[in-house]
Amino acid sequence: MIIELDLPLNRERLDVTLTECLQELGHKLTRSDITKALNEKRVLLADGTFPKAGLKLTCPCHVKIELSEVAVPRHEAEDLPLDIVFEDEYLLVVNKPRGLVVHPAPGHANGTLVNALLNYCGGNNLSDINGEFRPGIVHRIDKDTSGLLVVAKDNSIHNKLAELLSVHAINRVYQAIVFGNFAETAGKIDAPIGRDPRNRQKMAVTLKGKPALTHFTVLASRPGYSLLRLNLETGRTHQIRVHLSYIGHPVVGDPLYAAGRKYADLGGQLLHAAELHFRHPITQRMIDCYAPLPEVFNTFLEQFPMLQTKNRNTMADNF
């Protein structure tokens, strides 16, 4: 199994940091195990090189490590609340609250959406294509982004949903409040995204990145702020946040891509996965799911009447 990790800048040796992070995630691994993996070139850096055990982490580092199946822990089911928008015998769509991590990662070994899904569905009733770390998870949204996610109950439906994503047949609609105003009422951002070479914790528009395309519509605005509806044609890490920052309109409250422009301590960015539309790969029924704006949006909107609606919990078409 291959695991991807983002390691911090801590000026410690790579083998020490890797061991600590993996043990925190529940792996029964020793430093000797990690050194062996490094020597066998089973650890890969984002730049395509195989690092030495003694590499000092003088900058944030993204790594991939290949582990044997026996080293992979099974994560515990936890009785956490789930907001289920749609469910049948094949899949479910959940509305993830902001602040909830989707799957276990360093610093978040439990209390994640995956832990809640294991409790609700049981470990044998979720797909395992993405391994023990991400049972059922077909696609992800960031910790501080709220909204809709589709979850697969078995590998067959997981593959079918992944295929729909790859051909852009799952329409994912987001809403965001961003800094600044637009001359146009709609547009697209077509710019490749890859790891930021100056900060490995971030993504950036870069010539060596993967193709990324975001469509946007301006729903409402007031001086200094705009409310957008956004559609994704690709699903790159941090895509909306990176693209909006790239064109000079970062998401309000974004701690990574709106540095120096934070409106207030909002606990994260004002970005919400508001809608999911797709044809069910088994029943062929059209599935249309909606998630109301979270309260933090409403709190912000109350301060700016020109951004308000008669019912702020309705979807973008009502703005």
Per the structure, the complete domain to which residue 269 belongs is given by: 171-318
| Domain CATH number, residue 158 | 3.30.2350.10
Same domain, 100 and 15: no
| Non-local CB neighbours of 48 within 8 Å, separated by 6+ positions | none
pLDDT at residue number 104: 66
Output 69-74 pairs: Cβ under 8 A, ≥24 positions apart: 69/1, 71/27, 71/28, 71/29, 71/33, 72/1, 72/27, 72/131, 72/132, 72/133, 73/25, 73/26, 73/27, 73/28, 73/132, 74/123, 74/132
Residue 261 lies in a domain: yes
pLDDT at residue number 94: 96
Same domain, 46 and 144: no
pLDDT at residue number 318: 36
| Domain CATH number, residue 41 | 3.10.290.10
- pTM for this entry: 0.74
Same domain, 181 and 241: yes
Residue 187 lies in a domain: yes
Q: Give catalytic residue positions.
A: 142
**Can you tell me whether residue 199 is helix, strand or coil?**
coil
Same domain, 110 and 16: no
Residue 136 lies in a domain: yes
pLDDT at residue number 237: 87
Same domain, 62 and 128: no
Residue 271 lies in a domain: yes
Residue 119 lies in a domain: yes
Residue 79 lies in a domain: no
Residue 78 lies in a domain: no
| Non-local CB neighbours of 53 within 8 Å, separated by 6+ positions | 13, 14, 15, 34, 35, 38, 39
> According to the 3-state scheme, what is the secondary structure of 122-172?
CHHHCCCCCCCCCCCECCCCCCCCEEEEEEECCHHHHHHHHHHHHCCCCEE
Same domain, 119 and 237: no
Residue 309 lies in a domain: yes
Tokens 């580092």 correspond to: 61
Same domain, 10 and 132: no
End-to-end Cα spacing for the chain: 46
pLDDT in tens, the chain (319 residues): 677 888 876 778 888 888 888 777 667 678 888 888 888 888 888 888 888 888 888 777 788 888 765 444 556 788 889 999 999 999 999 999 988 887 666 566 677 888 888 888 886 788 876 655 577 788 888 888 999 999 999 989 999 998 998 888 999 999 999 999 999 999 999 999 998 888 877 899 999 899 999 999 999 888 889 999 999 988 888 999 999 999 999 999 998 898 777 666 677 789 999 999 999 999 999 999 999 999 888 888 776 655 544 334 443 343 3
Which of 166, 181, 197 is the C-terminal boundary of a domain?
Answer: 166
Residue 10 DSSP label = -
With the C-alpha atoms ordered 134, 136, 139, 145, is the resulting torsion angle positive or negative?
A: negative
Which of 46, 71, 96 is the C-terminal boundary of a domain?
Answer: 71
CA–CA dist 136, 162 (Å, integer): 11
Which of 134, 166, 198 is the C-terminal boundary of a domain?
Answer: 166
The structural domain count of the chain equals: 3
Distances from the Cα of 40 to the Cα of 34, 127, 165, angstroms: 10, 30, 35
